[in-house]
Chain A
Amino acid sequence: TQLLEQSPQFLSIQEGENLTVYCNSSSVFSSLQWYRQEPGEGPVLLVTVVTGGEVKKLKRLTFQFGDARKDSSLHITAAQPGDTGLYLCAGIIVAGANNLFFGTGTRLTVIP
């Protein structure tokens, strides 16, 4: 059982559509990060959220940390083919060791 469950696992959409990826857990996190990974490369950090209820925007990407700090979402507006990749959420558990637990991942394909 993974600590962080992401949904959906796979997502294939047309260019210009909007989408939301969810990251859920029963554990409380002191901070949560989103990464994007492309084939053959390491994950690249997109954003870090640390406060419950926090919303951060990165161009067409909007990240939200749940009020209880147990979940997060990533919303992409007007998706583009360049958004294609594996999206991973990762969190540090409150009162745990300071290592990241990664989510199960969402593989996004944006079709031109």
Chain B
Amino acid sequence: DSGVTQTPKHLITATGQRVTLRCSPRSGDLSVYWYQQSLDQGLQFLIQYYNGEERAKGNILERFSAQQFPDLHSELNLSSLELGDSALYFCASSPTDRETYEQYFGPGTRLTVT
């Protein structure tokens, strides 16, 4: 158990819909990272937040957005869903935003878009 929690574990929804994935980092960790893992693309970095502020952006679509709240939990919002958005979405946390030697991953949310 990494100490990072993600909900829900599974999510099935239809194209065009909007969903919210939730992540609670390890106690004391200020950075939260979101990743997408699909069969053909591997594990792709989406976005990072540090202590409530966006710190780095990766391959995140404009239809996706995220935020980190004062209690440090984070949410990833996916809208206008397409079949290709079906994937595992992981959240990871680390203590700092610099020299991120170690990231601890949650169990993931499996999103299926039908």
Contacts and interface: CB of A to CB of B under 8 A. Distances in A.
A90 to B, nearest CB: 8
A82 B43 CA distance: 23
A85 to B, nearest CB: 14
Interface string B1-25: 0101000000000000000000000
Contacts of B58: 99
A99 B43 contact: no
Interface string A90-111: 1010000111111111000000
B83 interface: no
B104 A45 contact: yes
Interface of A: 2, 30-31, 33, 35, 40-45, 48, 50, 88, 90, 92, 97-105
15 contacts: A31-B101, A33-B101, A35-B105, A40-B107, A42-B92, A42-B108, A44-B2, A45-B102, A50-B101, A98-B48, A98-B55, A98-B56, A100-B45, A100-B103, A102-B45
Interface of B: 2, 4, 33, 35, 42-45, 48, 55-56, 58, 90, 92, 97-108, 110
The 9 closest A-B pairs by CB, nearest first: A42-B105, A102-B43, A97-B56, A48-B101, A99-B56, A99-B45, A98-B100, A43-B105, A42-B90
